[in-house]
Structure 1
Amino acid sequence: MIERNFLAQDVLTAEDVEMIHEASMELLEETGIEILHEEAREIFAENGARVEGEKVYLSRELVEEYVEKAPGSFTLHARNPENNVTVGGNNSVTAPGYGSPYVTDIENGRRDSVYEDYINFTKLAAASDHVDVLGGVLVEPKDIADEKRHAKMLYAGAKYSDKCLMGSALGKKKARDCFKMASMLFGEDEIIDDRALVISLISTTSPLKYDDRMLASLIEHAKYNQAVIIASLIMSGSTGPMSVAGTLTLQNVEVLAGIVLTQMINPGAPVVYGSASTITDMQTANLTVGSPAYVKFVGATAQLARYYDVPSRAGGSTTDSLMVDSQAGYESMMNFMTATNHGVNFILHSAGLLENYMTMSYEKFIIDDEILGMVDSYQQGIEVNEDTVAKELIAKVGPGGHYLAEAHTMQHMRDFRTPTISQRATYTSEEDLVSTVESANQKWKDIIADFEAPELDPEIDKKLVDYMENL
């Protein structure tokens, strides 16, 4: 978890935010949003919303009343309490890539992801000092039957890590299965509902729609006090207006409707204002996550979430590049650093992704982990005190001296971050010319080979396995 020491940057003026808010209120009240789930529509109606067929209309008063009930921050619990994270405030919580149907490495190339890949990326995330939350659809294991896939994914996170976990957003039953398994992991047979054990990603269907499966999962999460990220992935020019401000307004309408629903079900339920919105590349018709426009969405999303006093989700080490190359590096650094500098609280897609959200790369996971470490070190700020100002030492060494033999140097020489794969050595021969991607390839293999899972009570392990087998 990155604890930010700098003030979050704003990309919108106060007047800009008010204009987006006012337009959103009018759209919610006059245009409405399509809710393709009967129980969700009933909940809206019971709490004062106007419902006509499958359309729900929310008044300004209703939106403001229920958004105010959402918490400004909350704790996500891990089975190892030392790995609990606070989502909100000055924290940026990180999670790796999510949802990729493909994986790649420099030796075997791009291929369908399978459960072995899921376990490998779980181990890499568990071993990282910078990844806080894992699980969910880290990659899509296509060799596991759909009815068991969600449980196998959560089990891998429980088996190979003691960090916080993502659950399933794929309907009522799968969400509840994850609650049940997470509760077992915490030593309880009944579902724990007094604290958040999992967080899941609820996606809107842009423009202005929520589908049945996502709504069913949202309702279960809110009922059981489990955390959700309500997120829009709007593509300016295709599923949203061909302007950043217009897409932000559409996103705001969609996300606010989901936040209101969670609070109608369970006031105070943990919820995050989320975005993966970006522009459509009009030459390829693809979404683009490596452009300056994308980071404008990231910054504006964080700012809108602060306006409503709820945590935000956006950003990550994302790239449009198809390979681990310079483009992947500069786009990923731009995107991740922007997310922290603008104050994003939950940064999904923090490590591993290539080709928008389509492919997880073993080598890029390691390179992105280096980026996370660099940004974390930067966000720690500068310690200024009598010792670090070193006035007496500067006077003692005086002009023309050096500091190599000083006790102060020995005391502080480990204060600065040491890279894990970045090259700092001087050139001596051709053997020194090892590329970053080659170093990353060796690094991920070493981590997998040396990996030791945290201890898991055998009785709990058996309960989890038995539960999966009976699904």
Structure 2
Amino acid sequence: MACPRVTCLTPDEIENIHAASLWILERVGIRIFSTEARDILSKAGAKVEGETVYLPPKLVETQIKKAPAEFTLHARNPARSVRIGGDNFVLAPGYGAPFVSDLSRGRREGTIEDFINLVKIAQACSNLDLASGILTEPNDVPEEIRHVKMLEASLKYSDKCLMGSPYGKKKALDTIHMAEVVFGREFLESHTVLITLINTLPPLSLDGRMAEALIEHARHGQAVIIASMAQAGSTSPVTISGTLAQINAEILTGITLAQLVKEGAPVIYGCASHPVDMRNGAMAIGAPETALITISGAQMAKYYGLPCRSGGALTDSKIVDAQAAAESMHTLMATALSGVNFVLHAAGILETYLTMSYEKLVIDDELCGMVRRLRRGFAVDENGLALQAIAEAGPQGFYLDKMHTLHNFRQENWEPRLLNRENYSHWAEEGKDLAAIAFSRWQEILACFEPPGLGKDLERDLNAFIEKVEKG
């Protein structure tokens, strides 16, 4: 049996949040800083006053039903493609951190070298399905070409699934055209190969660049995560239910827009909100309220029949320590057991999204393996009940020498790579803590890394496109 999913909301509470969100959209409205997006919504029946859009409940409810419950995200290596939705559990590394850290060099601004290193490590992490996105901001690359240099590195050093750019129409189209170079125009027209994070602007706003990127990705049949990163008590109500009503309204607006652009465009309901620590005004992503919002957001997504995205191994700790471990496993477990389908920030994040840690990336990959095993559950059948093995062993018997053990232990038992289970005397021969072990692990990955390779023709065509973007 699979491990059962946890819930917070009753069916009536889900209906109440849905009704509250529709009331917000119809009566309060949402400010959208994109003329094109406002025009699309206006033509569909929304009322527009200046930059504020008021959406009728019928329009919202009609459009969200058009979004697919599941879709396939295709990787360059077909064996790496993933199915998003249903009970599938897709894991992506940390995203958007301006800083990086490791035990040898400490905390510093991210560079393109760091970005490439993180892609290589994520490619080698057995539990991560993506090695793409903004693993860190490469601050030494000019902003106007940063998006193509990041996607170039993801294509050259990984064959896992890819993320596109959310930063406006041009950058979205640049990443779509790069995907077209690699996958071919015909394939791109009928398959989803990019997934892009579109964040709303709480409270009740949608940035123009994000709106335009959403439109272009939807128009080309590429997937968009529509997420609200509200801060309860600051950019959303301090109450969890009030935050849920507000962020649900924001997310539904994005989904409605995507479906009006292209019916059936793949979308993911993105729940990524957190409380504010009222003592200092800081966002608290490792808090228990984050877990409650995650679980409830997953329920709202399932209510609409949509795939869900949330955060993973989240922490407010500044270093790889006990706080980082405790908060990360707490938030990752909530994500895994609530039925979330796409986990962004599954590995590597420190310091409330600000820092990407080399060591934590490989440690969190191990934690992801643990929760994958937990989600899988176990079989209660003839083989699982093991009656013949029990009879063979008998009272005070032994199971290590039984064929049943030999045939089942690899499937039944999860085995760590970094976490230490040796006795004290064996461990004491080296005496390394987990962070030091992780430090050695990522260095080993980089030293032995072999890129999956694009092929000379694809690399030539990709380089030609990037040179064109660089020249403006």
Report which stretch shifted further, 162-171 or 400-409.
400-409
Contact 1:193 1:226 (8 Å CA) reproduced: no
Change (3 A) 1:192 1:401: closer
Which amino acid is the alignment partner of residue 278 of structure 1? H
* Equivalence for 1:92: 89
Whether 2:353 is the aligned partner of 1:357: answer: yes
User: Aligned-pair distance for 1:386?
Assistant: 2.1
Q: CA RMSD in A?
A: 1.3
Which secondary structure does the structure 1 equivalent of 2:178 belong to? helix
Show CA shifts across 1:309-333 (max 9, x none): 1111112101010110011001111
User: Aligned-pair distance for 1:379?
Assistant: 1.6
Whether 2:280 is the aligned partner of 1:275: answer: no
User: Which of 396, 399, 406 is the matching residue for 1:403?
Assistant: 399
Q: Distance in 2 between matches of 1:264 and 1:407?
A: 59
User: Which of 131, 138, 141 is the matching residue for 2:138?
Assistant: 141
Which secondary structure does the structure 1 equivalent of 2:40 belong to? helix
User: Which of 462, 465, 468 is the matching residue for 1:464?
Assistant: 462
- Write out aligned runs for 1:2-41 (5 A): 5-41=2-38
Which secondary structure does the structure 1 equivalent of 2:424 belong to? coil
Whether 2:385 is the aligned partner of 1:385: answer: no
- Write out aligned runs for 1:268-307 (5 A): 268-307=264-303
Which amino acid is the alignment partner of residue 17 of structure 1? I
Q: Distance in 2 between matches of 1:307 and 1:426?
A: 48
User: Which of 450, 454, 458 is the matching residue for 2:452?
Assistant: 454
User: Which of 203, 210, 213 is the matching residue for 1:214?
Assistant: 210
* Equivalence for 1:63: 60
* Equivalence for 2:366: 370
Number of residues paired by the alignment? 467
Q: Distance in 1 between matches of 2:269 and 2:385?
A: 41
Contact 1:180 1:190 (8 Å CA) reproduced: no
Report which stretch shifted further, 260-269 or 193-202.
193-202
User: Which of 129, 132, 135 is the matching residue for 2:129?
Assistant: 132
- Write out aligned runs for 1:84-123 (5 A): 84-123=81-120
Show CA shifts across 1:380-436 (max 9, x none): 211233233221221122112212222222223323222111111111164242101
Contact 1:271 1:311 (8 Å CA) reproduced: yes
* Equivalence for 2:171: 174
Q: Distance in 1 between matches of 2:179 and 2:165?
A: 12
Show CA shifts across 1:353-396 (max 9, x none): 00010000011111101100111112221123323322122112
**Which runs of 5 or more structure 2 residues have no equivalent in the other structure?**
none
Show CA shifts across 1:5-31 (max 9, x none): 333221111111111111111111111
Which amino acid is the alignment partner of residue 58 of structure 2? E
Contact 1:27 1:253 (8 Å CA) reproduced: yes
Contact 1:175 1:221 (8 Å CA) reproduced: yes
Contact 1:5 1:90 (8 Å CA) reproduced: no
* Equivalence for 1:344: 340
Which secondary structure does the structure 2 equivalent of 1:192 belong to? helix
User: Which of 248, 251, 255 is the matching residue for 1:252?
Assistant: 248
User: Aligned-pair distance for 1:263?
Assistant: 0.4
User: Aligned-pair distance for 1:182?
Assistant: 0.9
Bigger helix fraction: 2
Q: Distance in 2 between matches of 1:13 and 1:421?
A: 40
* Equivalence for 2:41: 44
Which amino acid is the alignment partner of residue 88 of structure 1? G
User: Aligned-pair distance for 1:193?
Assistant: 2.5
**Which runs of 5 or more structure 1 residues have no equivalent in the other structure?**
none
Report which stretch shifted further, 440-449 or 6-15.
6-15
- Write out aligned runs for 1:164-243 (5 A): 164-186=161-183, 188=184, 192-243=188-239
Q: Distance in 1 between matches of 2:17 and 2:381?
A: 44
Contact 2:2 2:378 (8 Å CA) reproduced: no
Which amino acid is the alignment partner of residue 301 of structure 2? A
* Equivalence for 1:311: 307
Which secondary structure does the structure 1 equivalent of 2:188 belong to? coil
* Equivalence for 1:424: 421
Q: Distance in 2 between matches of 1:231 and 1:388?
A: 41
Q: Distance in 2 between matches of 1:409 and 1:92?
A: 28
Which amino acid is the alignment partner of residue 395 of structure 2? P
Misfit runs of 4+, over 4 Å? none
